[in-house]
Amino acid sequence: MSCSSQTAFPALRTVTISYSELKDKSADLSMKIKEGFGPNGLGILSITEVPGFPSLRQNLLRVAPRLAGLPEQMKKELEDPHSRYNFGWSHGKEKLESGKPDLLKGSFYANPILDRPTTDASMIQRYPSYCGSNIWPDSALPELELAFKALGKLIFDVGLMVAYHCDRYGRFRWRSEVNVSPMQDESFWLHKTKRFLCSRGVGREKSSLSLRLEKKNSPFLPINSQVVFGEDEIAYQIGETTEILSGGYLCATPHCVRAPKGEEASGLERSTFALFMQPDWDETLHFPEEVHIHKELISSSGALTFGEYTEKLLDKYYHLKINCTQDGDSMSSWCGWHTDHGSLTGLTCAMFRRDAVEIPCPDSAAGLYIRTRTDQIVKVVFGEDEIAYQIGETTEILSGGYLCATPHCVRAPKGEEASGLERSTFALFMQPDWDETLHFPEEVHIHKELISSSGALTFGEYTEKLLDKYYHLKM
C-alpha cells in the first residue's frame, strides 16, 4: 500500500517494560509480553532506562553518515557478494515490493559478538549469509568497529532478557492449554531445552520459546487456500458486520478471485453474481474488544450505525486509494514492507541530520509502520532512549503462534524540509543456531511454500530458502 503524507494512520505507543523490571527474573511480565507480542499485539515492545544505552546509540549513529560518505571504491571493497551482501556494505542490492532496487538506503552488516563465527569451510559454504567474516574499514574509519560492537553487545544482552520472559509467558500459555500442573510443566521443560537465541550463530542455551505439542481444537484454512463449490450450490460468506454482531463467534475472512492464465485464458469471459445482505442503515453496531476490525474508524463510544460504518469504509478504500497510488510516494519509501525472519530484532530510534547537524524528524508522518494481524496499518512510536524489540517469524513458528511477527516498513519524510536529510539507525537480528530444527505447526502459516514434506527445516535451510526468494538465486 502506498499513501500521501496527508493520509493519517493511527500513531500508537509501544508497550514499555523498564530495565529494572526486565532484569528481575521473578517478575511476572506475562501481560505486557502478551500485549506487545501476542496475537492481538503489534509484535513490538520497548525497554526503557537501559544503563549506558543513550550514549552508545549516539556514538554509533554519529559514525554512520561518515561510513556512507566514504569514497565509492572504498565502499566497494567492503562488499561481500558471496554472503549475498549480508556482511559489509550493501547498497541497491535489496528490492522494494515494487521490484525496484532500494536506492535510498545503504546498509552495513556485521556480527557484533564474533568477527568469525566459524572456521568450518563446509558451514561457510552451506550458510554463507551467516557464517561469513566481518569486514571492517580499519584504516578509513577505525572507530566504527568499536562503536558497532559496543551497542550490538548491549542490545544482544537485553534481548536475552526479553527472550527469558517470552519463554516464561510461553510456558504459562502451554501449561494452561494442555492443563498440566506447574510441577509437571517444570519437569517437561527441563527435558525440552533448546538452543534459542543467537546473533549470527552465537548460540545460548534457553528453553524452547513456548513450544507446544498439541494442536489447537479449531482448525482453519491455510493462507492462500483455494475454495471450491459446485455450480448447483449457493455459497454464503460471513461479512465483517456479522463478526462484529456475533462478538467474533462468526468470522469474516479476506478473499480474492484469481484469473485464469495461459493460452486457454485468451478471449475468456467470466460471469458471476453476488448478493450483499446487510442490516438497516440505522442499526447500531457495538464493537466488542474481542473483534479487531477497523478499530481506527470507531468513535470513542465504541459504536457506529451500519450506515456510518459503511461510509467510513468507502472513504477509506475508495477515496484514499485514488489519492495514494503515486509511484515514488510509497509508504515504504525508506524500507520496504517485510517481516523479520529471525527470532528477535532489537531496534534503535533513528537519528536525523542535515548538513552534519542533528535535527528532529521534520515530518510527523515519517517513521516505522506496522501492518497488524487485522490488516490495519499503524505508525509505531518509541523514545530515542528506548530499545525496541520486534518478534520474528522464527519465534512465531517455535511458539506455535503465541508470539506473533508483523510486517513493517519505514516511511521517509516528505516536503521541502526533507531535502538533504540523512537518517541513521541500527538493528540487531537475533536468531537460533543454524542447525536448530524448526517444526512448522499447522497454526502458523508462514512461507508454507518453502517447507519440505516432513514439515521441518533447520534455521539455516529456512534462511537460505528465504534469501533465494527475496534476492533471487545465489550468485
> Residue 454: what pLDDT?
65
> Residue 301: what pLDDT?
67
The 10s digit of each residue's pLDDT in 330-361 is: 565 567 788 887 889 999 999 999 988 999 99
For 155-252, list the strands marked E by DSSP.
193-195, 205-207
For 365-416, list the strands marked E by DSSP.
367-371, 377-381, 387-391, 408-411
d(CA 348, CA 352) in angstroms, rounded, equals 12
Decide if 150 contacts 56 (C-beta within 8 A).
yes
Split into its structural domains, the chain has a count of: 1
Q: What is the DSSP letter of 40?
A: T
Model confidence at 321, in pLDDT bands (50, 70, 90)?
A: very low
Angle in degrees, CA 366, 371, 376, rounded to 5: 100
b or e along 273-298 (b: 16 or more beta carbons within 10 Å of the residue's beta carbon)? eeeeeeeeeeeebebeeebbbbeebb
> Residue 292: what pLDDT?
59
d(CA 385, CA 18) in angstroms, rounded, equals 12
pLDDT exceeds 90 at position 87: yes
d(CA 449, CA 12) in angstroms, rounded, equals 33
18-32, 124-138, 248-262, range with greatest mean pLDDT: 18-32
Residue 117 lies in a domain: yes
d(CA 237, CA 276) in angstroms, rounded, equals 10
Residue 347 lies in a domain: yes
Decide if 235 contacts 255 (C-beta within 8 A).
no
pLDDT exceeds 80 at position 429: yes
Model confidence at 394, in pLDDT bands (50, 70, 90)?
A: confident
Residue 273 lies in a domain: no
185 versus 439: the higher-pLDDT residue is 439
Range of lowest pLDDT (94-103, 243-252, 338-347):
243-252
Decide if 41 contacts 396 (C-beta within 8 A).
no
> Residue 63: what pLDDT?
96
The arithmetic mean of pLDDT across residues 33-48, rounded, is 93
Residue 457 lies in a domain: yes
pLDDT exceeds 50 at position 215: no
> Residue 293: what pLDDT?
63
What's the Cα-to-Cα distance from 301 to each of 79, 288, 291, rounded to whole Å? 55, 11, 15
pLDDT exceeds 70 at position 207: no
Q: What is the DSSP letter of 417?
A: G
The arithmetic mean of pLDDT across residues 154-181, rounded, is 77
pLDDT exceeds 90 at position 134: yes
Helix (H, G, I), strand (E, B) or coil at 182: helix
> Residue 210: what pLDDT?
29
pLDDT exceeds 50 at position 88: yes
32-46, 202-216, 276-290, 425-439, range with greatest mean pLDDT: 32-46
Range of 57's domain?
Answer: 11-212+335-471
Following CA atoms 241, 244, 250, 254 in sequence, which dihedral angle do they give, to the nearest 10 degrees?
60
124 versus 63: the higher-pLDDT residue is 63
SS percent in the chain: helix, strand, coil, step 5: 30, 15, 50
pTM to 2 decimal places: 0.67
13 versus 434: the higher-pLDDT residue is 13
Nine-digit cell at 387?
530499545
Residue 293 lies in a domain: no
pLDDT exceeds 50 at position 327: no
> Residue 190: what pLDDT?
29
Residue 223 lies in a domain: no
Q: What is the DSSP letter of 370?
A: E
Model confidence at 461, in pLDDT bands (50, 70, 90)?
A: confident
275-284, 300-309, 411-420, range with greatest mean pLDDT: 411-420
d(CA 459, CA 202) in angstroms, rounded, equals 13
pLDDT exceeds 70 at position 28: yes
Give the type of residue at 403.
Answer: L
> Residue 144: what pLDDT?
97
Mean of the per-residue pLDDT values of the chain: 76
**Which of 194, 198, 57, 56 has the alpha carbon at shortest distance from 127?**
198
Model confidence at 159, in pLDDT bands (50, 70, 90)?
A: very high
Residue 234 lies in a domain: no
Helix (H, G, I), strand (E, B) or coil at 132: coil
What sign results for the dihedral spanned by CA atoms 93, 96, 98, 100? negative
> Residue 124: what pLDDT?
86
Residue 95 lies in a domain: yes
For 270-334, list the strands marked E by DSSP.
284-286, 303-305
> Residue 225: what pLDDT?
58
For position 29, which CATH number holds? 2.60.120.330
